[in-house]
Amino acid sequence: MGMRNLFWIIAGVLNLMTFFLHLIGGQIDLVNPMLETALSVEKSSQLVGAWNMVTILLLGTSYILLLAGFGKKYSTNTEMIKLIGYLNLLFCLPFLIAGFYYGLLVPQWIFFLPIGVFTMIGLNKVKKDA
């Protein structure tokens, strides 16, 4: 199909690492302690549902970036790849804003920024090669 795109491969690997950190570390550090609080079952189940939606999104976008990076399926769908890049860049904002607002280090944005940057660099490579 398409040619290999090292930038998308790097973005896909970083995205997959973020997926595993979210799945395992987030469950241990955030979800499990939240479930042990006095928060209502309804609110807890909604937060766990949203948490797992992010987990699914991370896994799905890792799959797409890696397949595209290896020149397989999705490698010519630059609009979808661009959306994934923009989403990862936008995912930085809530963590940066929360960090400034609460005066805390909320470092999750550090995971999303390089995924977005490598995805966008890979898009520029595609444009130059075309």
**Model pLDDT for residues 3-46, shown as the tens digit of each residue:** 899 999 999 999 999 999 999 999 899 888 888 998 899 999 99
Is 39 among the domain residues? yes
Reduced to 3 states, what is the DSSP secondary structure of residue 71?
coil
Residue 91 in this model has a pLDDT that exceeds 70: yes
Residue 2 in this model has a pLDDT that exceeds 80: no
Q: In this predicted structure, what is the pLDDT of residue 30?
A: 87
Question: Number of folded domains in the chain?
Answer: 1
Residue 13, phi then psi, degrees to nearest 5: -65, -45
How many angstroms separate the CA atoms of 90 and 109, rounded? Answer: 9
Residue 129 in this model has a pLDDT that exceeds 80: no
Give the structural domain span for 47. Answer: 6-129
Q: Are 126 and 74 in contact (CB under 8 A)?
A: no
For 39-67, the DSSP string reads --HHHHHHHHHHHHHHHHHHHHHHHHHHH
Is 48 among the domain residues? yes
Is 1 among the domain residues? no
Is 31 among the domain residues? yes
Residue 101 in this model has a pLDDT that exceeds 90: yes
- Which pLDDT band holds residue 56 (cuts at 50, 70, 90)? very high
List of residues 6+ apart from 90 with CB closer than 8 A: none
Write down the pTM of the prediction.
0.91
